[in-house]
Amino acid sequence: MAVSNTNAERRRAPLSSWVKQTFLTLGSVAVTMLGLLFVTFIIGRVMPIDPVLAIVGERASQSTYDAVYQQLGLDKPLLVQFLYYLWDVCRGDFGMSLLNARPVAEDIARVFPATMELATIGVFIGIVLGVPLGVVAAVNRGSWIDQIARVVALVGYSMPIFWLGLMGLLVFYGVLGWVGGPGRLDIFYEDIVPARTGMILLDSALAGEWSVFRNAFSHIVLPASLLGYYSLAYISRMTRSFMLEQLTAEYVTTARVKGLSERAVIWRHAFKNIRVQLITVIALSYANLLEGSVLTEIIFSWPGIGSYITTALLSADMNAVLGGTVVVGLIFICLNILSDLLYRVFDPRSK
């Protein structure tokens, strides 16, 4: 009987640990999201921009100004305003854009797929090229291969992305004509493919419009490659650092003494132990591309969320700015949760 009770307790222990960890994760996400909303709310209140004047204009009468002031709830205490703001955001309501009088949520849903398409291809390039480059550099530490890999990563970190974008447009579009120019499509190909997902490459492939696909690819290849190079620099550098640590470990020496091939030692043993760390690196890199592609989108006239927030900020459209900021913050939170879940899947010590 005692043995049976002990076995039951052992079975309940992992379940209770999982439930506890789930509640802790959800609590952490809730607190982080609440902090993000509070910060964005405060930013909207301390910015030297009068939202009422942005709506009614400077020539509006005092009565019109007061009516809009009350309609926006600005006459209420700050805490009440925040609670109203919190309720609206939870319902997916970011207010109306001052530029086009459309709901900000609809605008974000329209522009975000363009950024997601660009960042996804960029991080894919970073993974496919950066991980092998980092591994090869670590295995050949101190060699010319390692030196080249370090220079490639250093240039990717050091060169301003706007300068690389301008030089890329000048050389590959202006001089050589190998790629398409700014924008997502040439005018001739616009509105041919129905927007199912908002990602032109995927939509054109689903519709079987391969001429549109080729044109869209010619436009996205250069900005995506620039973001991919930026991602490659970060991923390859971190991969090299992780691999160097593993290659000096005792288990690697033991595997070599046992006669395992160098390929097996590197990929089946050393690389296997850095997968968990790489998950976090890749997730952060993807989040940075989704959030930090503002300059790339502006240079290439890419209608994504980065250029949308920038245009809104220059036009004093604070509803659009805060809505975009909240979405970007939510992306970071979701990617952190995803990396944490994948960490538990690939790391047996976390089970």
Do 72 and 178 belong together in one domain? Answer: no
Average pLDDT over residues 158-163: 80
Do 225 and 138 belong together in one domain? Answer: yes
Give the residue numbers spanning the domain of 306: 106-350
Domain harbouring 240, CATH code: 1.10.3720.10
Using the predicted structure, report yes or no on whether residue 178 has a pLDDT greater than 50.
Answer: yes
Do 120 and 85 belong together in one domain? Answer: no
Using the predicted structure, report yes or no on whether residue 349 has a pLDDT greater than 60.
Answer: no
User: Which distant-in-sequence residues (6+ apart) come within 8 Å of 156 by Cβ?
Assistant: 229, 230, 232, 233, 234
| Helices 305-314, 104-139: crossing angle, 10 deg rounding | 130
Name the residue type at position 347.
Answer: D
Using the predicted structure, report yes or no on whether residue 2 has a pLDDT greater than 70.
Answer: no
Classify residue 101 as left (phi > 0), alpha (psi -120 to 50) or beta: left
- Write the CA distances from 185 to 204, 231, 264, 301, integer angstroms: 11, 25, 46, 11
Do 157 and 208 belong together in one domain? Answer: yes
Do 226 and 280 belong together in one domain? Answer: yes
- Which of 58, 90, 122 terminates a domain? The answer is 90
Using the predicted structure, report yes or no on whether residue 313 has a pLDDT greater than 50.
Answer: yes
Name the residue type at position 290.
Answer: L
Token code pair at residue 187: 């005018």
Distance CA 118, CA 184 (A): 10
- In the block, tokens 């290439």 appear at 300
pLDDT digits (tens, 9 = 90+) for 184-235: 888 888 878 888 888 888 888 888 888 889 988 998 999 999 999 888 988 9
pLDDT digits (tens, 9 = 90+) for 284-309: 888 888 776 777 888 888 888 888 88
Please, are residues 95 and 104 in contact by the beta-carbon 8 Å criterion?
A: yes
Using the predicted structure, report yes or no on whether residue 3 has a pLDDT greater than 50.
Answer: no
Do 69 and 117 belong together in one domain? Answer: no
Domain count, the chain: 2
Q: Give the pTM.
A: 0.81
Q: Could you tell me if residue 97 is inside a domain?
A: no
| Confidence at residue 265, expressed as pLDDT on a 0 to 100 scale | 81
Residue 96, beta-bridge partner list: 103
| Confidence at residue 292, expressed as pLDDT on a 0 to 100 scale | 66
pLDDT digits (tens, 9 = 90+) for 13-69: 555 665 666 677 677 777 877 887 888 778 777 766 667 766 666 777 777 777 777
Give me the sign of the Cα torsion angle 41, 46, 48, 54.
Answer: positive
At 156, is the pLDDT very low, low, confident or very high (cuts 50, 70, 90)?
confident
Q: Could you tell me if residue 101 is inside a domain?
A: no
